[in-house]
Amino acid sequence: MNPDSIDDDKLKLLIDSGVNRLSIGVQSLDERKLKKLGRAHSAARARDAVLRSHRRGFKNISADLIFGVWGETLPTWRQELKSLAALPVSHISCYELTYEKGTPLFFAAQNKSVIPLPDDETAAMYETAIDSLGLAGLKQYEVSNFARSGCESRHNMHYWDNAPYIGLGPSAVSYIDGARTRNVSDVKEYVKTFEAGKPMTESSEKLSSVKMAKETAAIKIRTKEGIDFDWFKARTGFDFLELERLSLPKLLDMEFVKYKKAGDKVTGIVLKRKGFLFCDTVSSELL
């Protein structure tokens, strides 16, 4: 939910309907940053949305933050983290701002009216999030996600296990029995297709067993627990060390990953601190 779309009537409707968790798009508790990002809500409105939801009975609230905005400083980011963690939230997601092609921010960056922060500054902000939120009782369990004990997102963990899912609505993607399908994107065309009783999918792809296994590796490595070799074999049918015999030595040499052990036995691999900073590189190597 967006902070500016939350009101008491809607909250009552949701809680009376059995909804037990809200994810609120806070994005920032800094007024200047919100204005730069063109967000409609204010920092005060974001705080009120969290507090109002909690008063209405929601004890499991997730909120997200964006970092790496031009002109942002480490002290202001640290204060945002502290302020959000002090609110009644059980889960926080932290996402680095990216300048996607075709967006106003991308064009502004190309024209030098917006200067993205250097990589070392955004890296410092990311590590600050890990440390600050950990001290506040929200432990990192995935690259961008932090939670109090027992409040990890089961919905997201399902994706990171590369388990099957059904997508509903225009553009939605489903992944079932190794087949990935995408629904019709255009809303009007989607409605016409439905009313005509035709299949709702506009594209489909049947993944090979090897590609499915490699995608599982690339996604699962994002988690704090990493990849357990026995779990991987049971999930995909492949031996991880054999499947990734070319990529794993490189990742170990770059000190992005390390082995997990039970006693003297190697049981899996997990990202090192440095690996979390270069997670996209690690995932690409495993694909």
pLDDT at residue 204, as a whole number: 95
Residues 52-65 pLDDT 10s = 999 999 999 999 99
**Residue 200 region, left (φ>0) first, then alpha (ψ -120 to 50), else beta?**
alpha
Spell out a b/e string for 13-28, using b for 16 or more CB atoms within 10 Å of the CB, else e. Answer: ebeeeeeebbebbbbb
**pLDDT over threshold 90, residue 100:** no
What pLDDT, in 10s, does the model give residues 141-200?
A: 999 999 999 999 998 999 999 999 999 999 999 999 999 999 999 999 999 999 999 999
CB atoms within 10 A of CB 68: 21
Confidence (pLDDT) at 113 = 80
The β-bridge relationship of strands 139-142 and 145-147 is antiparallel
The percentage of residues in the chain with a pLDDT greater than 90, rounded to a whole number, is 91
Which CATH topology does 3-152 take?
Answer: Transcription Regulator spoIIAA (3.30.750)
Residue 103 has pLDDT above 90, yes or no: no
How many residues does this entry show for the chain? Answer: 287
Torsion-angle region of 144 (φ positive above 0: left; ψ -120 to 50: alpha; else: beta): alpha
Angstrom distance (rounded) from CA 215 to CA 36: 36
Average pLDDT, the chain: 95
List residues bridging with 174 in a β-sheet: 181
Return the closest-CA partner of residue 78 out of 123, 126, 144. 126
Give me the residue spans of the domains in the chain: 3-152, 159-207, 221-286
Domain 221-286 has CATH 1.10.10: yes
Over range 91-109, report the average pLDDT: 86
* Pairwise CA distance, residues 46 & 26, whole Å: 5
- For residue 49, name the pLDDT band (cuts at 50, 70, 90): very high
Where does residue 48 rank: exposed (0-12), middle (13-18), buried (19+ CB within 10 A)?
A: middle
**What's the token pair of residue 235?**
């999930």
What are 34's two structure tokens?
A: 């919100």
